[in-house]
Amino acid sequence: MHINPILSKKILAWYDNNKRKLPWRVGKKSPKKLYYRLLSEFMLQQTQVKTVIPYFNNFTKKFKTLKSLSISSEREVLKTWEGLGYYRRARNLLACSKKLVRDHGSRLPYSLEKIKKLPGIGDYTGNALLGLVYNMPTIAVDGNVKRVFSRILNKEENKINFENLIDKNKKNFFKTNRNADFVEALMEFGALVCKPKDPNCLTCCLKKTCKYFKSKNKIRSSKRKMIRKNYNVFCYINKKKQIALTKENKIGFLKNFYLPTIIEDANSFNNRNWKFLKNYQNPISNLKLNINLYYKFAKRIPQSHNWYSLEKNKEFIPSFTKKIFKQISTLFK
Ligand code: SF4
């Protein structure tokens, strides 16, 4: 699939005049570059730029360098991450910083293969970091980039082999040697101009070559897939206003975090003697969680569980569990 060679020049010119001032966009030679880029790439997974900015500023105030992050405790890191969600990212970031400092002299490895051995880094983040940190000719294909190419070609995303497309047009994309800028410019252009809804076609610098703009038969934008899940949450509670939590759970995005017992298929659980408290929805990014909340006053709890106060805890409790606390607290009012 051929992309008009003018694209990189036009997008870079647009970027130079319109890029947002973001705290992780530091100078090419800044010693903070790797740390800031790494942190922002982790924070931006599943999360919008405007949500990330205050968390990024707060995090870098507390952990000033990659090294200081690498010697911090998991509890401190999770506390500072608190509210941003998807806490596995914070754990991976901490593990990644330790590995970079210990095994790579606080530098990013030069090959995608080696970068992907770092915790929490796959193809997307690996390619983004190689481009942004080392100016290598790589493109991180996120939703924004897919949408831009798919519209320029007026071809549905699922009919495009993006790896092939980038490979075939590599020479043109990277001829200016501003690879790091091009990676960012593409993502920024997708976020601000070629937006999911109502793209700014009339003022767009690419409209003369864009097939979507010219076509009478425009493709439909692909919608973000929502994943629905049913969780039955069983809370042991006691009269001291405590709730029993365990880290032994199989809930992917909250694996090894403090949760009550959660069962997807309630039929596989003996729910005799449990009282139904409430049904509520808990949306988290592209997850739509339908929660059925049950409780039982108990003196004895399973060995894997420990008691935690509904009001004050030293441990890090994810917001998913805090919402459960809020519901359970209504029983003591
Ligand atoms: S003309 Fe419209 S659809 Fe085409 S690249 Fe520009 S904003 Fe996107």
Question: Tokens for 110?
Answer: 């030069």
Q: How do strand 242-245 and strand 275-284 relate by DSSP bridges? A: unpaired
Backbone angles phi, psi at 33, to 5 degrees: -55, -55
Residue 55 belongs to a domain: yes
Q: Is residue 328 part of a domain?
A: yes
Specify whether 263 is located in the same domain as 320. yes
Helix boundaries (H) for 203-303: 211-214
Distance from the alpha carbon of residue 147 to the mean position of ligand 1, in angstroms: 10
Please name the amino acid found at residue 55: Y
**Atom number of ligand 1 nearest to Cα 211:** 4
* Antiparallel, parallel or unpaired: β 275-284 and 261-263: unpaired
Ligand 1 center to residue 148 CA distance, Å?
A: 7
Burial class (CB in 10 A: 0-12, 13-18, 19+), 28: exposed
CA atoms of 86 and 82, how far apart (whole Å): 10
Q: CATH code at 274?
A: 3.90.79.10
pLDDT for the residue numbered 2: 80
Q: Considering 41, 76, 113, 315, which one is annotated as catalytic? A: 41
For residues 44 and 257, give the distance between their C-alpha atoms in angstroms, rounded to a whole number: 21
Which regions in the chain score pLDDT beneath 50? none
Atom number, ligand 1, closest to the C-alpha of residue 193: 7
CA of 152 to the centre of ligand 1 (A): 7
- Whole-number Å distance between alpha carbons of 150 and 37: 27
Nearest atom within ligand 1 for CA of residue 210: 4
Looking at the fold, whether 218 and 238 belong to one and the same domain comes out as no
Residue reference for tokens 């105030």 = 61
**pLDDT attached to residue 174:** 87
> Is 264 noted as a catalytic residue in this protein?
no
Residues 231, 217: one domain? Answer: no
Pocket test for ligand 1, best of 8, 145, 152 (most atoms within 8 A of CB): 152
Shared domain for 55 and 124, answered yes or no, is: yes
Same domain, 153 and 13: yes
SS3 263: strand
Specify the pLDDT at position 279: 95
Q: What backbone phi and psi angles, to 5 degrees, belong to 88?
A: -60, -30
Strands 287-297 and 275-284: antiparallel
Q: Which residues pair with 279 in a beta bridge?
A: 292
Q: Is residue 210 part of a domain?
A: yes
Distance 1 CA to ligand 1 centre (A): 18
The length of the chain is: 333
Burial of 286 (0-12, 13-18, 19+ CB in 10 A): exposed
Which residue blocks in 88-199 are alpha helix, DSSP H? 88-104, 112-115, 123-134, 143-153, 162-173, 179-192
Same domain flag for 5 and 60: no
Domain-located, residue 179: yes
Q: Whose CA is nearest to atom 2 of ligand 1?
A: 201
Instruction: Identify whether residues 266 and 204 lie together within a single domain.
Output: no
How many whole angstroms from 154 Cα to the centroid of ligand 1? 10
* 107 and 189 belong to one structural domain: no
Pocket test for ligand 1, best of 148, 153, 188 (most atoms within 8 A of CB): 148
Same domain, 289 and 205: no
Question: 135 in helix, strand or coil?
Answer: coil
Are 232 and 310 members of one domain? yes
Q: Are 53 and 149 in contact (CB under 8 A)?
A: no
- Pocket, ligand 1, Cβ cutoff 6 A: 151-152, 193-194, 199-201, 204, 206-207, 210, 212-213
Boundaries of domain holding 82: 29-134
Q: CB atoms < 10 A from the CB of 166, how many?
A: 20
* Total domains in the fold of the chain: 3
Report the C-alpha dihedral over residues 31, 99, 120, 77, rounded to 10 degrees: -70
Q: Which of 206, 216, 220, 221 to mutate to test the pocket of ligand 1 (most atoms within 8 A of CB)?
A: 206
- Centroid of ligand 1 to alpha carbon of 176 (angstroms): 22
Residue 109 CA to residue 204 CA, distance in Å, equals: 37
Ligand 1 center to 151 CA (angstroms):
7
Q: 55 and 182 share a domain?
A: no
* Local structure of residue 221 (DSSP, 8 states): P
User: Quick check: is 184 in a domain?
Assistant: yes
Are 19 and 185 in contact by the 8 Å Cβ rule? The answer is: yes
- 24 in a domain, yes or no? no
Has residue 76 been placed in a domain? Answer: yes
Of the residues 224, 240, 270, the one at which a domain ends: 224
**283 near 289, Cβ under 8 Å?**
yes
Whether 53 and 120 map to the same domain: the answer is: yes
Domain final residue, candidates 134, 157, 182: 134
Query: Which ligand 1 atom is at minimum distance from the Cα of 206?
Result: 6
Last residue of a domain, one of 134, 162, 197: 134
Give domain status of residue 23, yes or no.
no
Hey, which of 4, 154, 156, 207 would you mutate to test ligand 1's pocket, going by the most ligand atoms within 8 Å of its Cβ?
207
Cβ proximity of 92 and 120 under 8 Å? yes
Neighbours of 264 (CB within 10 A): 12
Residue type, 137: P
Backbone dihedral angles phi then psi of residue 282, each to the nearest 5 degrees: -130, 90
Name which residue sits closest to atom 8 of ligand 1, judged by CA. 194
